[in-house]
Amino acid sequence: MRFVDEFRDAEQARALAARIAARCEPGRVYKFMEVCGGHTHTIYQHGLEDYLPEQVQLVHGPGCPVCVIPMGRVDDAIAIARRPEVILTSFGDMMRVPGGDGSFLDAKAAGADIRMVYSPLDALKIARQNPGRQVVFMAIGFETTAPSTAVTVQRAKAEGLANFSVFCNHVTIIPAIKAILDSPDQRLDGFLGPGHVSTVIGCEPYRFIAEHYRKPLVVAGFEPLDILHSIDMLLAQLGDGRCEVENQYSRVVPWDGNVTALKVLADVLELRPFFEWRGLGFISHSALKLTEAYADFDAERRFDVPGVRVADPQSCQCGEVLKGVLKPWECKVFGTACTPETPIGTCMVSPEGACAAYYNFGRFRRQRLLQVSAR
């Protein structure tokens, strides 16, 4: 398949692996964080860790929007959905995320009208079809999906759809990366920057990582050779004594981002003073809410939302996994009590969750298949 097969070529992968190994200084360990959950799945689906020398360690970051949603926000959405006049709409990967009072599927089974949609425009269509009901869209995601929510709200206002609103849980990636860099729990040598988010925000917002924290960042694509090439670029920077922001995914990511999408975001959404992230706690200016011009479409203003904080189950260590402090298989309940069929934490639910990646692709141990990189 064109534009896919050439990024999955085994010979090129082995050549890149050899180049990566040659760049490693004897005795030095390199720790790189893949910020995006999509990168985590590529790494373990294609066994890319087995192409890397033991000196190169990859740790997971908080770039899975479903995984970072705290349990209290799930409960808030369920509280809205239980109102008899409400139809709550949500992306499918949120349906099984556990809150303190069950999941969306549990609430649906108990009688709440919760419907899965593929786009916020689907929720808008449901609002048109049900003028006597209040239709709420559970908006989640980083800057990648926020523009589609913003455009939908603009359209709802233009059409005068008074029965449509958004429960906004969009988060932004830069404050989360800064929180990790400021954390004493983690010592990193560089970052594989998130490709999807960068298609919207571009590469310029990451400059502070290189200039202030002196860590290189390479915006990476999602195919196996993209990941290996990006790791090679990080090692090249470290070998040259450079700390820069580079764009490996230039076939998709413009340096200045998507200007049109950024203008729509600025019109409809603005930063919240603070927002709670699972595993990272409260981070200032790290999430979005509707601007005053679109306040009539804000579900948090339209309905009485409990806003109660809910602690994660004591057995769940999603927070440590999201910070890259633990590997999924180091969690006490990974693969036993916590599986994709019976998830305890969000990292096992989401298609981008690190625990789901490890479970689905058989990473239950530390051992690598070193013969792959040796070939």
pLDDT tens-digit profile of 350-365?
877 889 888 888 765 5
CB atoms within 10 A of CB 315: 13
- Count the neighbouring beta carbons within 10 Å of the beta carbon of residue 305: 17
Percent of the chain with pLDDT over 90: 73
Architecture field, domain 71-171+287-302: 3-Layer(aba) Sandwich (3.40)
Could you give the C-alpha distances from 36 to 79, 192, 232, in angstroms and in order?
30, 8, 18
Residue with tokens 């999602």: 222
- For residue 304, pLDDT over 60 is answered with yes
Q: Is the pLDDT of residue 9 over 60?
A: yes
Based on the number of CB atoms within 10 Å of its own CB, is 6 exposed (0-12), middle (13-18) or buried (19 or more)?
Answer: exposed
Q: How confident is the model at residue 310 (pLDDT cuts 50, 70, 90)?
A: confident
Domain range list for the chain: 71-171+287-302, 318-374
Chain-centroid distance, C-alpha 127: 28
Residue 173: pLDDT band (50, 70, 90) is very high
Mean pLDDT of the chain: 92
Q: What is the largest CA-CA distance in the chain?
A: 69
Q: What is the pLDDT of residue 364?
A: 59
Mean pLDDT value across residues 274-291: 92
CA 168, 173, 175, 181 torsion: positive or negative? Answer: positive
Q: Is the pLDDT higher at 107 or at 61?
A: 107
Quick one: pLDDT at residue 2? Answer: 67
Q: What pLDDT does 299 receive?
A: 98
Residue 42 and residue 48 in contact, taking contact as beta carbons nearer than 8 Å: yes
pLDDT of residue 371 exceeding 70, the answer is no
In terms of pTM, does the model score above 0.85?
A: yes
